[in-house]
Chain A
Amino acid sequence: DSGVTQTPKHLITATGQRVTLRCSPRSGDLSVYWYQQSLDQGLQFLIQYYNGEERAKGNILERFSAQQFPDLHSELNLSSLELGDSALYFCASSVLASGGGKGTGELFFGEGSRLTVL
C-alpha cells in the first residue's frame, strides 16, 4: 500500500460527459502529480500541484483541469469526454516541491482510476 488513495477505481461514462477523479496523497506529501496511461501513449505526465498551487504542466488537454485543496487532496476534472480519453489515470505524491535536491525524487503512486468512455 503506497498510502495514495484514488477514487473511483472504475468509471464508465458516455462521450460529452464530465467526470471528476479524486486523489488523497500520502500523509505529509505536499506534491501531487497526475498521469495518464493509455496503450498508445504510455505514461504521460499531465500536471503537478504543490501545496495548492500549480507547479508544472505537461500534456494536459484544455478540456481537463485539476486543483489541489487546502487539505492537499486533488481532483482531476475531465470534460467533454471523447472516446480517446479512455485510459488509466494515476495520481502520485511526493514530499518534494521542485528540483531542489531534497531526497531522491521518488513518487508514490495510487492504484489508478480506470475511465471508459463509450
Chain B
Amino acid sequence: GDSVTQMEGPVTLSEEAFLTINCTYTATGYPSLFWYVQYPGEGLQLLLKATKADDKGSNKGFEATYRKETTSFHLEKGSVQVSDSAVYFCALRSQGGKLIFGQGTELSVKP
C-alpha cells in the first residue's frame, strides 16, 4: 500500500541555519504530495503542495520539489527562525482522497 517515510527527528538547528527534512514515498502512480505543519497545541496546517512531477511547492520560505525519479519530496528552507519550531508532516494523497502521512519530524530552532 501507499506509504510515506520521513527522516527521524528531533532536528535541532540554530536560527538562520539551513533546513532539510527528507521525505520519500511509495505509491501507485503519481499522487499529489503535501507538507503539513503542526505548531504546539494546534491542528495541522497545509504548508505547501505539489500535484505533479517536477512541480515545486513553496510557502513562507519553505520549498519542496516533486521528484518522481527518486520518489521524494524533501522540505527545505534557507534560513530558519525560532517561529518555525513545529512538527512537520509529509503526506501523499491516496485512493479515495485520504492523506497518508509520514511519522512527522520535530524541528526545534534555537536563538
Contact = CB atoms under 8 A, between A and B. Distances in A.
B96 A104 contact: no
A112 B43 CA distance: 6
B34 A106 contact: yes
A42 B43 contact: no
A99 B95 CA distance: 6
Given A42-B104, A43-B89, A104-B51, A98 B43 contact: no
Given A90-B44, A110-B43, A111-B43, A99 B97 contact: yes
A55 B32 contact: no
Interface in A57-100: 58, 90, 92, 94, 96-99
Given A48-B98, A99-B96, A42 B103 contact: yes
Interface residues of B, number: 23
Interface residues of A, number: 28
A11 interface: no
Given A42-B104, A43-B101, A98 B44 contact: no
Nearest to B6: A42
B97 A96 contact: yes
A107 interface: yes
A27 interface: no
Contacts of A31: 97
Given A2-B45, A33-B99, A104-B32, 8 more contacts: A33-B97, A42-B103, A56-B96, A92-B99, A105-B93, A105-B99, A106-B34, A111-B43
A-B pairs with the 5 shortest C-beta distances?
Answer: A105-B93, A56-B96, A43-B101, A111-B43, A109-B44
